[in-house]
């Protein structure tokens, strides 16, 4: 059992003190699917590391590495002490979204720079965090398509099971599309935040 001691002498138990089976489940599922992530039990706990560039069931598109490089998203999955009732935060570390992309519906990034991965879904506490990590891996690819101005907004359901964007990845990006395109800070004025 891991506990946190406060200056006033009170002892706070971590979420996994109350939910040890959920911690065991998360460890088993994450280490099986994403062995590059490392558990850190500081605070409410987190997983950090790099996701595979294509952890999906269908074949990887031929020119995916031309769009995102050899590696997938470097991410931090952060629990709160309210987990599993409250979904964990997934924060992209590399690439790190630019501040003007935060809170904009089309980038799927919240105002605190965490990913908005539950737009049309509801978190009940029974879902697997692996599903969120898969969505984060897909976000990395859609982010590259956005940065290359190939698409104007990310898909609603993500690309985990939706192959509608795969044809873009079957060919390399156009040379003129590989430069970074600066945008004005719209402060989320182009639509609702996630």
pLDDT tens-digit map of 108-121: 999 999 999 887 77
35 to 39, 53, 57, 76, 130: CA distances (angstroms): 10, 13, 17, 14, 12
Mean pLDDT of the chain: 87
Residues making up the chain, counted from first to last? 194
172: pLDDT strictly greater than 60 = yes
State residue 181's pLDDT score.
47
CB atoms within 10 A of CB 81: 16
- End-to-end CA gap in the chain: 35
pLDDT of res. 105? 83
Reference 191, options 165, 151, 155, 153; nearest CA is: 153
pLDDT mean over 141-150: 96
Nearest to 83 by CA among 51, 128, 135, 119: 128
* Predicted pLDDT at 118: 85
How would residue 156 be classed by pLDDT, with cut points 50, 70 and 90?
Answer: confident
pLDDT band at 184 (very low <50, low <70, confident <90, very high): very low
* pLDDT top residue among 28 and 174: 28
Over residues 30-83, the pLDDT tens digits come to: 999 999 999 999 999 999 999 999 999 999 999 999 999 999 999 999 999 999
Residue 2 has pLDDT above 80, yes or no: no
Nearest to 77 by CA among 25, 1, 125, 130: 130
- Give the per-residue pLDDT at 187: 43
The secondary structure element, H or E, covering residue 93 is strand 89-94
**CA–CA separation, 113 vs 81, rounded Å?**
20
Per-residue pLDDT band at 140 (split at 50, 70, 90): very high
Contact by Cβ (8 Å): 177, 148: yes
Q: What is the pLDDT at residue 190? A: 42
194 pLDDT exceeds 80? no
* The pLDDT of residue 182 is above 90: no
């Amino acid at each position: 059992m891991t506990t946190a001691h406060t200056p006033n002498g009170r002892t706070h138990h971590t979420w996994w003190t109350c939910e040890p089976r959920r911690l065991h489940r998360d460890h088993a599922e994450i280490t099986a699917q994403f062995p590059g992530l490392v558990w850190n039990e500081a605070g409410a706990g987190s997983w950090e590391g790099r996701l595979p560039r294509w952890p999906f069931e269908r074949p990887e598109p031929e020119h995916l590495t031309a769009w995102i490089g050899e590696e997938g998203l470097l991410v931090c999955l952060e629990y709160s002490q309210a987990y599993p009732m409250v979904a964990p935060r997934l924060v992209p570390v590399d690439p790190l979204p630019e501040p003007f992309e935060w809170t904009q519906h089309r980038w799927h990034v919240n105002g605190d720079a965490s990913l908005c991965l539950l737009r049309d879904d509801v978190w009940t506490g029974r879902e697997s965090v692996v599903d969120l990590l898969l969505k984060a891996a897909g976000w990395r690819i859609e982010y590259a398509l956005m940065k290359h101005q190939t698409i104007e907004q990310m898909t609603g359901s993500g690309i985990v099971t939706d192959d509608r964007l795969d044809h873009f990845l079957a060919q390399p990006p156009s040379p003129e599309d590989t430069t970074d395109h600066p945008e004005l800070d719209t402060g989320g004025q182009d639509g609702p935040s996630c």
